[in-house]
């Protein structure tokens, strides 16, 4: 294993003891701590301003004595996104997983995901299939999505959110690079979907094509309470994703960019995201023009010779070399001049 461990983030909010929520929380925590996993593991429980301190609940107080459990009480109820980002910032390990208080994992979930990470050093995120669990078990449903990067992108285009939130195991470094979960009100209640559409544009993903966790379907869940808001926000995220029109070509194109620059796929993904995030105008040599136009359909990509015909004075030269037209009279950044970590 080339990772130092796994940080599991569990955000929670106890608003009542009249239902079976404490029992569900116990089930979720136990399912994490009972993982058959070859790496060190920590469970970060983010208590989002509960009226009753979660670690004092009789049903789970003993579990909080486990040294692998970190209890983080927030003074105020600040919402899911804030709680998740607190967990990301506190995580000690290089891999991140997340679970909700009403979910549960199969014992081998993390280990099966680690097998994929070990087999492919360019992977950044791995999901799994899930079982939708209803009060009426006859309605239970197993959902398994495609295993490859290309298959996941096609699923996103044809259906929607690619990763069940409680299924992912992913690189903390990419979470941090992308800024964690967004507070943008336009993606409220579909923050994970918005994050994955950006993530998978630049970084390779995969799926374990097995059902390895239970997702509890409940009328009290956030997705049920805010179903209409989630539907509208998810529709907007999906529409923006489809507008790019590049989902069929992303894996092959990112691999080509990595080959041309003689970088790993992960390194190429980091550079592409940073350039996309900070620059509107991108210069490149002929062999990179078409690949970059595919990855950056929402940016302007041009040859260095075209720069003099452009009004902008801020460009990025997408190369490991110095820009052939020099950097005087224009602000032309390169991979080396910006000292990207590659």
> Rounded to two decimals, what is the model's pTM?
0.93
Burial class (CB in 10 A: 0-12, 13-18, 19+), 49: middle
Q: What is the pLDDT of residue 330?
A: 60
Question: For 259-273, how does the pLDDT look when each residue is reduced to its tens digit (9 = 90+)?
Answer: 999 999 999 999 999
| Position 327 pLDDT exceeds 80 | no
pLDDT tens, position by position, 15-57: 777 668 889 999 999 999 999 999 999 999 999 999 889 999 9
pLDDT at 93 over 80: yes
pLDDT in tens, 184-226: 999 888 999 999 999 999 999 999 999 999 998 876 666 656 6
Q: Which residue has the higher pLDDT, 148 or 311?
A: 148
Beta-carbon contacts of residue 328 (< 8 Å; ≥ 6 apart)? none
């Amino acid at each position: 294993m080339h990772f130092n461990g796994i940080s599991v983030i569990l955000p929670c909010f106890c608003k009542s003891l009249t239902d079976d929520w404490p029992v569900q929380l116990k089930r979720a925590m136990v399912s994490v701590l009972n993982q058959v996993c070859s790496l060190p593991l920590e469970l970060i429980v983010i208590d989002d301003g509960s009226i009753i301190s979660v670690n004092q609940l009789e049903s789970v107080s003993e579990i909080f004595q486990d040294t692998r459990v970190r209890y983080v009480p927030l003074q105020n109820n600040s919402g899911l996104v804030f709680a998740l980002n607190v967990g990301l910032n506190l995580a000690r390990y290089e891999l991140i997983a997340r679970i909700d208080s009403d979910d549960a994992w199969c014992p081998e979930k993390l280990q099966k995901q680690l097998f994929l990470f070990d087999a492919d050093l360019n992977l950044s995120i791995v999901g799994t299939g899930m079982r939708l669990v209803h009060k009426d078990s006859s309605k239970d449903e197993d959902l398994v999505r495609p295993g490859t990067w290309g298959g996941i992108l096609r699923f996103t285009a044809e259906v929607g959110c690619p990763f069940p939130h409680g299924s992912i195991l992913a690189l903390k470094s990419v979470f941090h690079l992308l800024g964690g979960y967004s507070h943008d009100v336009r993606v409220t209640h579909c923050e994970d979907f918005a994050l994955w559409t950006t993530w998978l544009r630049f970084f390779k993903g995969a799926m374990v094509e097995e059902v390895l966790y239970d997702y509890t379907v409940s009328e009290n869940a956030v997705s049920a309470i805010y179903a209409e808001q989630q539907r509208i926000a998810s529709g907007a995220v999906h529409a923006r994703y489809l507008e790019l029109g590049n989902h069929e070509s992303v894996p092959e194109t990112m691999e080509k960019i990595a080959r041309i620059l003689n970088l790993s796929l992960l390194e190429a993904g980091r550079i592409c995201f940073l350039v996309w995030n900070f620059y509107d105008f991108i210069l490149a040599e002929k062999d990179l023009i078409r690949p970059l136009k595919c990855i950056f359909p929402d940016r302007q990509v041009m040859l260095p010779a075209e720069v003099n015909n452009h009004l902008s004075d801020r460009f990025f030269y997408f190369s490991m070399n110095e820009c052939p037209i020099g950097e005087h009279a224009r602000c032309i950044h390169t991979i080396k001049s910006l000292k990207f970590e590659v």
